[in-house]
Amino acid sequence: MDMGLKGKNAVITGGSVGIGLAVAEGLAAEGANIVLAARGKERVEAEAAKIAEKFGVKAWGVAADVATVAGVDAVVAAAEAAGGADILINNAGTGSNETIMEAPDEKWQAYWDLHVMAAVRLARGLVPQMKAKGGGVVLHNASICAVQPLWYEPIYNVTKSALMMFSKTLASEVVGDNIRVNCVNPGLILTPDWIKTAKQLTADTGGDWEGYLQQVANEHATSKRFGTPEELAHFFVFLCSDKASYSIGSTYFVDGGMLKTL
């Protein structure tokens, strides 16, 4: 199936590892050029080079912290130099671990900047590029925790919920410019962060990190397993394509049955 993505310029934040990298590879496999953004210069440039070589597309690695104004400016400038953005994947983010009573203002602000303001600033910078090209796609990678919170990460829950609402309101504002905006709420996706955490938590009890992750899946997902970044990336690629032309302003759950509500 031709997804209509050949020659499109896709900007992916948090793109050097895990979900972001899988989405970048999925889009590149369809012929899209890739602007890959992440904080680590060596890694993001190396992954961009691998994508270009493997898929025969253009790919640029941009070292940028999108939680900052300067980082967003660097990504916007790179997209402009590439010929303007057609697709934006707001993927940069990370989990948290705190209580509301003990978390300081600085931690709340840091997650707000990363999960919400990065999306706001990137929209202000890249939507005009999309308008100039006749349209585009913006996708926000939020989380099932936006609507079904986990008790130990209240800041993550709150900021991801705000990102979901931002996605909805941005969709209403730019639909007339032929720009489609949607949000994806993943459940358990087996990223390197999950594996790292599992290894740390089981280091003193035999090191059965795979067993620990299976327990997590058994508890939370009716499918009793984690999804892979590639499985999630397939959904992102579809939403970027012209096959999803009537998908506007929605939130989609890709969670293996984790969501417990309608």
Q: Per the domain annotation, does 147 fall within a domain?
A: yes
**Is residue 221 domain-shared with residue 161, that is, in the same domain?**
no
- Residues 80 and 126: their CA atoms lie apart, in Å, by 8
Q: Does pTM surpass 0.85?
A: yes
pLDDT in tens, 49-71: 999 999 999 999 999 999 999 99
What are the residue ranges in the chain where pLDDT is below 70?
A: none
Domain assignment present for 96: yes
pLDDT of res. 86: 99
Residue 1 lies in a domain: no
In a domain, 260, yes or no: no
Q: Kindly state whether residue 91 falls inside one of the protein's structural domains.
A: yes
Whole-angstrom Cα distance, residue 14 to residue 94? Answer: 10
- The C-alpha atoms of residue 51 and residue 33 are separated, in whole angstroms, by 9
- 126 half-sphere exposure, CB direction, 13 A CA radius: 35
| 202 and 76 within one domain | no
Q: Which percentage of the chain shows pLDDT scores above 90?
A: 98
Tell the residue number behind the tokens 């991801």, with chain if given.
160
Same domain, 136 and 65: yes
Sign of the C-alpha dihedral computed for residues 192, 194, 199 and 200 taken in this order:
positive
Residues 184 and 240 in one domain: yes
Q: Which domain holds residue 195?
A: 190-226
State how far the alpha carbon of 89 is from the alpha carbons of 1, 122, 183, in Å: 22, 10, 10
- Verify that 222 and 243 share a domain, yes or no: no
Helix (H, G, I), strand (E, B) or coil at 94: coil
Q: Which residues belong to the active site? A: 156
HSE of 224 in the Cβ direction (CA atoms, 13 Å)?
1
Q: Summarize pLDDT for 94-126 with one digit per residue, the tens.
A: 999 999 999 999 999 999 999 999 999 999 999
Q: What letter would DSSP give residue 255?
A: S
Are 68 and 173 in a shared domain? yes
List pLDDT tens digits, range 2-23. 999 999 999 999 999 999 999 9
CATH of residue 47: 3.40.50.720
Provide the H-helix boundaries in 66-133: 69-81, 105-112, 118-132
- Tally of domains within the chain: 2
Number of other residues whose CB lies within 10 A of the CB of residue 134: 10
**What is the pLDDT at residue 1?**
82
